[in-house]
Amino acid sequence: MNDPITDYPKSIRNKFKELFGQEALIIRSPGRINLIGEHLDYNMGFVLPAAINKAIWLGVQKREDDGIRLHSLDYDDDYLSNIYDINPSGKLWPDYILGVVEQIRKNHSLKHGFNLVFGGDIPPGAGLSSSAALECATAFALNELFGLGYEKMDLVRIGQAAENEFVGVKCGIMDQFASVFGKKEHLIRLDCRSLESIYVPFHTNDIKILLFDTRVKHSLADSAYNQRREQCEKGVKLIQKFHPEVRSLRDASQEMLDTYVKAVDETVYRRCTYIVSEIKRLLNGCKDLEKDDLISFGKRMFETHAGLKDLYEVSCNELDLLVDLVKDNPNVIGARMMGGGFGGCTINLIKAEAANDLIKKVTDAYLSKTGTEMLVYEVEIEEGTGFN
């Protein structure tokens, strides 16, 4: 087995030289956390993400011909194509890059191909958006390389469209937005309808943001994700028959759900109830942060978890166990499953001085109940996509 990589920019620079005999342009694009507001982005609600100190690094250079030469450092794997032959690769990782090329080719006739080497420390499948980071890194890199003149928001849209159309996951805009617009020590309060955002200062001197990774990767996550989105759209359609002004669940009230959805489709009703209450929770959570009331904010995180578990049904036993293990601990301010669901991580806000003891307790309990050693990531809030 190879030694674990500790300095990605350096390893990528070296590999690039070895493979292509050139100096690479190095780009960094981070993963993300989300404090509250889960599954709200595609319902035109609000989210509260931040970019983190785990990232994808990517080295690129233009080629003279039309070839595309890709190398994944972590998988030690290659993929070869050219700019006129953009088809699904059959092995996923190249698709995040090819999907971006496909989007760019809708507006620009690229005349040259490129060489690309990438790798990073965002654990794949852990709900930290390694895919969005790779898409945004690629969009940023090609924009620089070919002088395409895209703004930051264009890069976000290109990344999301690549995921929606090429990879086939109908994700919202949160992950790509957080990766591109991330700002050190700040959360991003993003209105997913107007796309207006504000940076919310978030200092973590006396609290730690810890992610507990179940190491469960659910193979049905993508199709279940798309299904949740369809269920929300169905709820909107049912309401629209009587309230045509309702364009998304952002505009719906609990009363509308009770009146027009409950009797028609119980499952859709539960999904929509979660969304409508989570929008409220997020707005109240933002007020908590304005008042520096982390205790109240943390309680809402636990409520979000309950909603994702019982109403939206995107949790799993392992995620529930990790939340149960911390929920009565006075040193834990808030905890919940994070991201799309069906596996991945919980996010925990923990009093700094208690973190080590807690990690040990939770790790031991998780091991004895599941037979699996959970992983722990201590997260810091970092800058978004840019040159390394």
Q: Where are the alpha helices (DSSP H) in the chain?
A: 8-20, 93-105, 130-146, 152-161, 174-181, 221-240, 254-256, 266-290, 294-310, 317-326, 355-370
Contact 348, 332 (CB under 8 A): yes
Position 42 contacts ligand GLA (CB under 6 A): yes
Position 174 contacts ligand GLA (CB under 6 A): yes
Position 135 contacts ligand GLA (CB under 6 A): no
CB of 217 to ligand GLA, least distance (A): 14
CB of 164 to ligand GLA, least distance (A): 10
Nearer to ligand GLA, 38 or 95 (CB): 38
Position 49 contacts ligand GLA (CB under 6 A): no
Contact 149, 118 (CB under 8 A): no
- CA dist 333 and 208 (Å) reads 10
Of 41, 74, 175, 213, the active-site residue reads: 175
- CA dist 34 and 123 (Å) reads 16
Position 339 contacts ligand GLA (CB under 6 A): yes
- Part of the chain binding ligand GLA (CB under 6 A), chosen from 100-108, 172-180, 284-292, 351-359: 172-180
CB of 171 to ligand GLA, least distance (A): 3
Contact 256, 384 (CB under 8 A): no
Nearer to ligand GLA, 19 or 200 (CB): 200
Contact 318, 343 (CB under 8 A): yes
Query: Strand order of the sheet with strand 375-379?
Result: 332-337, 345-351, 207-213, 375-379
Q: Which residue is nearest to ligand GLA (CB)?
A: 171
Which of residues 24, 41, 48, 260 is near ligand GLA by CB under 6 A?
41
Compute how many residues bind ligand GLA; rule: CB under 6 A. 11
CB of 42 to ligand GLA, least distance (A): 6
- CA dist 155 and 139 (Å) reads 6
Angle separating helix axes 174-181 and 130-146, nearest 10 degrees: 60
Residue 220: CB atoms within 10 A of its CB come to 10
- Part of the chain binding ligand GLA (CB under 6 A), chosen from 12-20, 82-90, 170-178, 240-248: 170-178
Structure tokens at 198: 């504000």
Nearer to ligand GLA, 25 or 47 (CB): 47
Position 31 contacts ligand GLA (CB under 6 A): no
Position 347 contacts ligand GLA (CB under 6 A): no
Nearer to ligand GLA, 85 or 230 (CB): 230
- Part of the chain binding ligand GLA (CB under 6 A), chosen from 36-44, 112-120, 277-285, 294-302: 36-44
- CA dist 301 and 307 (Å) reads 10
Contact 99, 157 (CB under 8 A): no
Q: Please confirm, yes or no, whether 364 is among the known catalytic residues.
A: no
Interface contacts to ligand GLA, rule CB under 6 A: 38-39, 41-42, 129, 171-172, 174-175, 339-340
Hey, which residues are catalytic here?
A: 175
